[in-house]
């Protein structure tokens, strides 16, 4: 079946059996497509003796460690069909993932994102405040994950403003005016969790002390990018929620889980605080010891599958995140599909040995 058919369905509408059937078909199809189109992927499948006739469920399909997209150039279509290359936002010196998109894949990503997020924001565009600086989206040939996220979400905005300038300072006057102009309307706020905390929340808090306040009680905040930096500052999800609420009245707050290697299929946090898999993708938790599938409630390594990627073999990936499935089809919020939580990144291995290089990496 084609991806367009899947796009016609509502993101959280399928129960386990139906979703399983759809996804298995599509993912097997993608596996064969990439085997055909990507020689590295084909070599990998051959090396493990992959046979498609043995696959009855997408849980049995091979998965690639996401790291491979940093080490290898993996694509399944000719170079001239690539319209966009996305990169992960690695810090300097680190290798970055390179994700090659053709027209169809890029368009699926965008459409999927809109379908998923609209479930939370409602159809129709909203005035949008992007809690970031404009320069992050300037180079459109090479998208960073941050830039790609912003551009992806921007499509949901009618009027848009960047809340920060390129020095990461809050545009106080502009923000004031924007909120004023859209009084009574629902506003969409979007940004990366740490940016929001560091450059938005902290500034609002400071301004509040000076008597300058902003009312965002009618807004919805969608944020992603992980909690690592905030955990270092001892800011938990609860603290984050409460602080945002206290400082500007925000209460409709949704985290999301996603990665540049599977852009589009984001996992939104529902009103009950759970991350949800839509019908376009799924999460499988694997036991680190033997990669067997973990039951509900058992902590393991997150594998993500996505029905989107046609131009690169990224439809089944093993992340380096730890998480657990909390349930399926029965979240009190009413959405179908698996719901889960993420505990964060797996620890680097502590390795003994003669060479000092590892130790120095740890010391830095």
Considering the complex, state which of residue 239 and residue 346 has its C-beta at the smaller distance from another protein.
346
Strand order in the sheet with 82-87: 98-102, 82-87, 142-143
Considering the complex, state which of residue 80 and residue 351 has its C-beta at the smaller distance from another protein.
351
Minimum Å gap between C-beta 151 and another protein is 29
103-121 and 145-154 are packed helices; what angle lies between their axes, rounded to 10 degrees?
Answer: 60
Sign of CA dihedral 50, 52, 58, 63: positive
Minimum Å gap between C-beta 359 and another protein is 4
| Residue 57 near residue 303 (C-beta atoms within 8 A) | no
Considering the complex, state which of residue 2 and residue 46 has its C-beta at the smaller distance from another protein.
46
Q: Which residues bind another protein (CB under 8 A)?
A: 39-40, 43-44, 46-49, 64-65, 67-68, 71-72, 288-291, 301, 318, 320, 322, 346-360, 363
Considering the complex, state which of residue 238 and residue 349 has its C-beta at the smaller distance from another protein.
349
With a CB cutoff of 8 Å and minimum separation 6, the contacts of 361 are none
Minimum Å gap between C-beta 79 and another protein is 18
Minimum Å gap between C-beta 61 and another protein is 14
Distance CA 342, CA 335 (A): 19
| Residue 132 near residue 191 (C-beta atoms within 8 A) | yes
Distance CA 121, CA 129 (A): 14
Minimum Å gap between C-beta 299 and another protein is 9
Strand partners, 306: 281
With a CB cutoff of 8 Å and minimum separation 6, the contacts of 257 are 224, 266, 267, 269, 275, 342
Considering the complex, state which of residue 62 and residue 249 has its C-beta at the smaller distance from another protein.
62
Minimum Å gap between C-beta 303 and another protein is 11
Give the 3-state secondary structure of residue 301. strand
Minimum Å gap between C-beta 55 and another protein is 16
**Of 153, 247, 159, 235, nearest in space to 203 by CA:** 247
Minimum Å gap between C-beta 314 and another protein is 13
Strand partners, 192: 224
Minimum Å gap between C-beta 361 and another protein is 11
Burial 216-255 (b: 16+ CB within 10 A, else e): bebbbbbbbbbbeebeeeebebeebbebbeebbebebbbb
Considering the complex, state which of residue 174 and residue 320 has its C-beta at the smaller distance from another protein.
320
| Residue 66 near residue 320 (C-beta atoms within 8 A) | yes
Extract the tokens encoding 323: 């998480």
Considering the complex, state which of residue 64 and residue 116 has its C-beta at the smaller distance from another protein.
64
Considering the complex, state which of residue 97 and residue 109 has its C-beta at the smaller distance from another protein.
97
Considering the complex, state which of residue 43 and residue 177 has its C-beta at the smaller distance from another protein.
43
With a CB cutoff of 8 Å and minimum separation 6, the contacts of 131 are 163, 164, 189, 190, 191, 192, 195, 196, 199, 200
């Amino acid at each position: 079946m084609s991806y367009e058919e899947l796009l016609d369905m509502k993101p959280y509408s399928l129960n386990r059996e139906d979703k399983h059937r759809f996804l298995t078909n599509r993912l097997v199809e993608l596996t064969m497509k990439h085997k055909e189109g990507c020689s590295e992927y084909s070599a990998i499948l051959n090396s493990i003796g992959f046979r498609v006739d043995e696959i009855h469920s997408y849980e049995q399909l091979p998965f690639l460690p996401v790291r491979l997209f940093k080490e290898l150039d993996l694509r399944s279509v000719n170079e001239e069909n690539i319209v966009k290359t996305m990169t992960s936002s690695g810090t300097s010196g680190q290798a970055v993932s390179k994700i090659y998109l053709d027209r169809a894949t890029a368009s699926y990503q965008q459409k999927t994102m809109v379908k998923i997020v609209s479930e939370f924001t409602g159809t129709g565009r909203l005035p949008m405040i992007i809690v970031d600086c404009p320069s992050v989206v300037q180079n459109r040939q090479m998208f960073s994950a941050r830039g790609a996220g912003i551009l992806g979400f921007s499509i949901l905005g009618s009027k848009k403003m960047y809340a920060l300038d390129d020095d990461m300072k809050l545009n106080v006057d502009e923000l004031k005016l924007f909120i004023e102009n859209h009084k009574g309307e629902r506003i969409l706020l979007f940004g990366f969790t740490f940016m929001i905390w560091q450059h938005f929340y902290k500034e609002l808090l400071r301004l509040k002390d000076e008597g300058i306040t902003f009312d965002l009680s009618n807004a919805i905040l969608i944020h992603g990018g992980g909690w690592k930096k905030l955990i270092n500052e001892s800011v938990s999800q609860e603290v984050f929620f409460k602080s945002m609420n206290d400082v500007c009245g925000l209460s409709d707050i949704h985290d999301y889980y996603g990665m540049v290697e599977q852009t589009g299929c984001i996992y939104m946090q529902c009103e009950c605080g759970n991350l949800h898999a839509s019908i376009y993708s799924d999460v499988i938790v694997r036991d680190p010891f033997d990669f067997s599938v973990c039951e509900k409630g058992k902590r393991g390594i997150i594998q993500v599958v996505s029905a989107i990627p046609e131009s690169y073999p990224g439809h089944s990936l093993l992340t380096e995140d730890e998480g657990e499935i909390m349930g399926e089809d029965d979240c009190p919020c009413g959405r179908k599909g698996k719901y889960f939580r993420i505990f964060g990144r797996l620890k680097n291995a502590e390795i003994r040995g003669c060479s000092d290089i590892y130790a120095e990496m740890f010391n830095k």
